[in-house]
């Protein structure tokens, strides 16, 4: 990997030509660069944050839930073994309940014939493995830290063969030319803003309180999803820095009016209220780490492709965390786009051509909308106390539990096996 961290005197017209320019070097953008490893492609990654930041293991480490389908994608990219060696926590079972009602359901990895329904991984581990892989790629140049100041998809001509991205790095202006620009720069995407691409948005009037919590017994690799009138709660099994399997990553959804009150609770009061809402299934809560909070909403980009542009990950869509599908959906974007790019190049086609990118957009549309609608429906259905709806959802949980085909279909969706699977999602290399 070439790293552009110092001012360069080279001419941008010769030194800064690329096939694919990825804006955003976070988990989605870095994953796309890794997916394209070994291809005859010259790749640039532009990242605003300092890529050299290191984080030590701690009780407060942030985590991400990877679906089984995402593990397959990472396996196909040759990354999973490194992630697994550094430490993952399998999710063997998922228990779903509705507070104040009898309806409950569960999903079991054995019933689905897989080792795990998903895995909980610290984001620092994901970052470490991705950075190490990026550093080994000879066909990649990393511009970091650098910020994008302009994007021109026509690059001066309607028939131009490349787009132009202007960046600022350590006070120096640089111009990058590429056949394809990929916006992977998150929910506040600068690329999307610079190009005037609008979004569909919905504010749920809720906030997610995030923290790690410890209980008085092993979690046995069970994840808990608990629906309450105030919003859903999730406990994802994880490990503490000593490797003890008695901690959970907590996502506690609260209404906007309750946010400050919940954050102001001392640790004992916080744990007591958490215990009251979750119940005794997971054990007795004995410790809570640092709490953080962020607002919840749904966002979908009005456009996902333009000539020489593809928008992926949180730049294209953001979801309520109730089903833990956010990064998994973005990783499926990565696997699909990487395959479309590689197949186009192997056929002698331009990866930035609109016909190529429309094929990608059509491929991803069903998964993106189905996942968004399912997530939104769960939030709305389980957040209302209206008695007929409460009865309907409990009947639904009961049917889910006793009708194997329904359970299997929903479990397959939760594991990320949706529609036409790209080669990486089948554990195959590109």
Q: Per-residue pLDDT tens for 367-411?
A: 988 888 777 766 666 666 656 666 666 666 766 677 778 778 878
Are both 44 and 154 inside the same structural domain? yes
Mean pLDDT over 187-199 rounds to 97
pLDDT for the residue 400? 66
Residue 140: which domain range?
2-53+128-200+298-384+420-426
Task: Give the end of a domain, one of 248, 266, 297.
Answer: 297
Instruction: Please give the torsion angle defined by the CA atoms of residues 396, 400, 402 and 408, in that order, rounded to the nearest 10 degrees.
Output: 160
pLDDT for the residue 98? 77
Using DSSP's 3-state secondary structure scheme, residue 34 falls into helix
pLDDT for the residue 15? 43
Strand partners, 63: 122
pLDDT for the residue 51? 60
Using DSSP's 3-state secondary structure scheme, residue 46 falls into strand
Binning pLDDT at 50, 70 and 90, where does residue 91 land? very high
Are both 142 and 109 inside the same structural domain? no
DSSP readout, 309-322?
EEE-GGGTEE--GG
Are both 209 and 324 inside the same structural domain? no
Task: Give the end of a domain, one of 271, 297, 323.
Answer: 297
Where is pLDDT greater, at 332 or 402? 332
Is residue 301 within 8 A of residue 201, CB to CB? The reply is: no
pLDDT for the residue 390? 64
Using DSSP's 3-state secondary structure scheme, residue 336 falls into helix
Are both 272 and 309 inside the same structural domain? no
Spatial distance between the Cα atoms of 100 and 103, rounded to a whole number of angstroms: 9
Binning pLDDT at 50, 70 and 90, where does residue 177 land? very high
215 inside domain: yes
Mean pLDDT over 111-122 rounds to 94
Question: How buried is residue 294: exposed, middle or buried, by Cβ count under 10 Å (0-12/13-18/19+)?
Answer: exposed
Tens-digit pLDDT profile for residues 264-304: 999 999 999 999 999 999 999 999 999 999 998 889 999 99
User: Mean pLDDT in the chain?
Assistant: 88
155 inside domain: yes
Are both 37 and 95 inside the same structural domain? no
Handedness of CA 263, 62, 246, 411 (dihedral sign): positive
Least confident of 100-114, 208-222, 290-304, 399-413: 399-413
Mean pLDDT over 177-183 rounds to 97
Are both 86 and 117 inside the same structural domain? yes
DSSP 261: H
pLDDT for the residue 340? 97
Where is pLDDT greater, at 419 or 125? 125
pLDDT for the residue 11? 42
Task: Give the end of a domain, one of 278, 297, 316.
Answer: 297
pLDDT for the residue 326? 86
Sheet containing 89-91: give its strands across: 63-67, 118-122, 89-91
Spatial distance between the Cα atoms of 366 and 362, rounded to a whole number of angstroms: 8
Are both 45 and 167 inside the same structural domain? yes
pLDDT of residue 10 exceeding 50: no
Radius of gyration for the chain, computed over Cα atoms and rounded to the nearest angstrom:
22
Least confident of 245-249, 312-316, 345-349, 417-421: 417-421
């Amino acid at each position: 990997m070439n790293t552009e961290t110092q001012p360069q005197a080279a001419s941008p017209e010769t030194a800064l030509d690329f096939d694919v320019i990825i804006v955003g070097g976070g988990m989605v953008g870095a994953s796309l660069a890794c997916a394209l490893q070994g291809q005859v492609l010259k790749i640039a990654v532009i990242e605003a944050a300092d890529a050299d930041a290191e984080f030590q293991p701690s009780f407060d480490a942030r985590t991400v839930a990877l679906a089984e389908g995402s593990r397959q994608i990472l396996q196909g990219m040759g990354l999973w073994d490194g992630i697994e060696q550094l430490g993952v926590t399998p999710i063997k079972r998922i228990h779903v309940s509705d507070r104040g009602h009898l309806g409950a359901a569960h999903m079991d990895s054995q019933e689905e014939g897989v080792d795990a329904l998903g895995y909980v991984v610290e984001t620092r581990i994901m970052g470490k493995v991705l950075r190490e892989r990026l550093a080994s790629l000879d066909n990649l140049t990393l511009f970091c830290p650098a910020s994008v100041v302009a994007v021109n998809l026509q690059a001066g001509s309607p028939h131009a063969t490349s787009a132009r991205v202007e960046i600022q790095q350590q006070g120096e202006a640089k111009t990058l030319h590429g056949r394809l620009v990929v916006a992977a720069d998150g929910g506040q995407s600068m690329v999307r803003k610079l190009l005037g691409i609008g979004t569909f948005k919905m504010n749920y009037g809720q906030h997610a309180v995030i923290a790690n919590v410890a209980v008085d017994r092993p979690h046995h690799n069970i994840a808990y999803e608990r629906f309450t009138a105030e919003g859903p709660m999730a406990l994802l099994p994880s490990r503490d820095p000593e490797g003890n399997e008695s901690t959970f990553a907590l996502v506690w959804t609260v209404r906007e009016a309750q946010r400050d009150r919940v954050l102001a609770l001392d640790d004992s009061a916080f744990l007591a209220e958490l215990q009251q809402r979750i119940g005794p299934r997971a054990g007795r809560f004995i410790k809570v780490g640092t709490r953080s909070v962020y607002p919840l909403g749904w966002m979908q980009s009005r456009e996902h492709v333009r000539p020489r542009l593809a928008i992926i990950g949180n730049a294209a869509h953001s979801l309520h965390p109730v089903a833990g599908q956010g990064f998994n959906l973005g990783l499926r974007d990565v696997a699909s786009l990487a395959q479309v790019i590689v197949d186009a190049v192997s056929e002698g086609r331009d990866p930035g051509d609109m016909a190529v990118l429309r094929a990608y957009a059509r491929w991803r549309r069903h998964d993106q909308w189905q996942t968004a609608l399912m997530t939104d429906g769960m939030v709305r259905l389980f957040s209302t106390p209206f008695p007929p709806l409460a009865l309907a959802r409990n009947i639904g949980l009961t049917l889910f539990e006793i009708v194997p085909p329904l359970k299997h279909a929903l479990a397959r969706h939760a594991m990320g096996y949706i529609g036409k699977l790209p080669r990486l999602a089948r554990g195959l290399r590109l």
